[in-house]
Amino acid sequence: MNEVKRILDQMDRAFTGDAWHGPPLMQLLNGVSAEDASKHPVRGAHSIWEIVHHISAWNSVVNRRLGGEDVTITHEHDWPPVWEVNEVAWKHALDALSESRARLRKSVAALKDSELDHPPAGTKESRYVTLHGIVQHDLYHAGQIAILKKTLP
């Protein structure tokens, strides 16, 4: 197995697959209602919904950078707000998360191992570090979501 395939395997495990640590991100989100996703049960912490938007945003940022675009991140882009709380909007947020990951995964699958040492546009870190970072990002926020779910009634 080449390194790009290993990275894809780790991305898949963290997002939807057989994660070593426990449930992958999408499994944690399964069955969460719009109302619960929008709650802030921990003072000063983001809601599950806000975290979903944030993960989607970073999937898009990394994908765009891999495509050669130098992306500047604003607070609104980093943590997009939740404007409307209903099941349709929540499903849209979950669909957007899956779609952003699918686009990123497609870009990663097109890479060659020899390209992993080169940084994506606008960054100093290599593609290798960036892509492992997106896996770490998923797992970090999956842990937050797991804890937030435990605080819900």
* Angle at the Cα of 43 from the Cα atoms of 40 and 47, rounded to 5 degrees: 25
**In sequence order, what are the residues at sequence separation of 6 or more whose Cβ sits closer than 8 angstroms to the Cβ of residue 82?**
38, 47, 49, 50, 53, 89, 93
Q: Which residues contact 50 (CB under 8 A, 6 or more apart)?
A: 79, 80, 81, 82
Q: So what's the pLDDT on residue 74?
A: 94
Q: What CA–CA distances, in Å, run from 149 to 47, 97, 116?
A: 10, 18, 36
Q: Of the candidates 30, 26, 31, which has an alpha carbon nearest to the alpha carbon of residue 12?
A: 26
Q: What are the extents of the domains in the chain?
A: 3-151
pLDDT tens per residue across all 153 residues of the chain: 799 999 999 999 999 998 888 899 999 999 999 999 999 999 999 999 999 999 999 999 999 999 999 999 999 999 999 999 999 999 999 999 999 999 999 999 999 999 999 999 999 999 999 999 999 999 999 999 999 999 997
**What is the C-alpha to C-alpha distance for residues 143 and 53, in angstroms, rounded to an integer?**
16
Q: Tokens for 52, please give them.
A: 């979903």
- Per-residue burial over 48-72, b if 16 or more Cβ lie within 10 Å, else e, is bbbbbbbbbbbbbbbbbbbeeeebe
Helix, strand and coil in the chain, % to nearest 5: 65, 0, 35
Q: Scan for tokens 């947020």, then name that residue.
A: 93
* Phi, psi at 132, each rounded to 5°: -70, -30
* CATH class of the structural domain 3-151: mainly alpha
Question: How far apart (Å, rounded) are the C-alpha atoms in residues 90 and 32?
Answer: 9
